Amino acid sequence: MAQSYVLSVVIPCYNEKDNIIKIVERVRKAPVENKEIIIVDDKSTDGTRDILEKSVKPLVDKIIYHEVNQGKGGALKTGFAHATGDYVIIQDADQEYDPQEYIKVLQPILNGDADVSYGSRFLAGVSKGYRANQMANKFLTALSNIFTHQKLTDMETCYKCFKRQIIQSIDIEEKRFGFEPEITEKISNRGIKIAEVAISYDPRTNEEGKKIGFKDGLRAIYCIWKYRNKK
């Protein structure tokens, strides 16, 4: 008998008027029978909010609007608080990650092998994206591993999946992309092993709206040090 569960998909959204309908349609087609789709609009200023109200609202379970921009970490914190599913996965609003791979990321948790699972862009052996970004991601992951004692290949990945009770029990402090090292360290500090599975990746350029930059890399280094286990 197939296991019955609900997967909450949390989509942080900021100025994604060209992508939000497309990604919601892709999420709805993901091969998970029971999904709860939650969008957190982080005070978009490009018309995204109008699209959410007029076209997306009937297609999802919840839309939460921030009246002050709080960054990706802030949007995720809001989304996690509203999740009611058995498991929670993060989905960026762009087109870089494929919702058809939810089951792949979720499988280690369903099998009872892990409580947290990451989708790695580097395990498949074919890396995509700017070489500088790849090198930065691999450096930050290696630095994080030193303090977490994990053996991750892609700490910065969007596809992070959790048992809901775990992610809702963690106080998220970082507002922007510092969320990635913060959540990895806080999970690791609890002695939780993070599973990894290979996923595909279709990177977009800065011109296409990619928002992470050099300052976020520096913040990630700071967060790796700040949230390390100090015991």
Domain ranges of the chain: 7-226
Question: In terms of Cα–Cα distance, which of 188, 186, 180, 126 is closest to 156?
Answer: 180
Query: Taking a C-beta distance cutoff of 8 angstroms, is the pair 26, 11 a contact?
Result: no
Give the CATH superfamily of 7-226: Spore Coat Polysaccharide Biosynthesis Protein SpsA; Chain A (3.90.550.10)
What does the pLDDT average to over 148-167? 97
Is the confidence at residue 208, as pLDDT, over 50? no
Measure the CA–CA gap between 166 and 19, rounded to whole angstroms.
30
| Residue range 61-112, pLDDT digits in tens | 999 999 999 999 999 999 999 999 999 999 999 989 999 999 999 999 999 9
Predicted local distance difference test score (pLDDT) of residue 209: 47
- CA angle, residues 175, 181, 185, in degrees to nearest 5: 115
pLDDT over 80 (residue 207): no
Specify the pLDDT at position 41. 98
Of 12, 68, 71, 7, nearest to 39 (Cα)?
12
Report yes or no: 180 and 137 within 8 Å, Cβ to Cβ: no
Cβ atoms of 201 and 96 closer than 8 Å:
yes
Instruction: Determine the pLDDT at residue 23.
Output: 98
Q: Across the chain, where does the E strand assignment appear?
A: 7-13, 35-41, 62-65, 87-90, 116-120, 160-163, 194-198
Residue with tokens 């699972």: 117
Question: 201 falls in which pLDDT band (50, 70, 90)?
Answer: very high
pLDDT in tens, 169-181: 999 999 988 999 9
Helix 214-226, helix 131-148: angle, nearest 10: 10
Measure the CA–CA gap between 133 and 201, rounded to whole angstroms: 13
Query: Would the pTM count as exceeding 0.85?
Result: yes
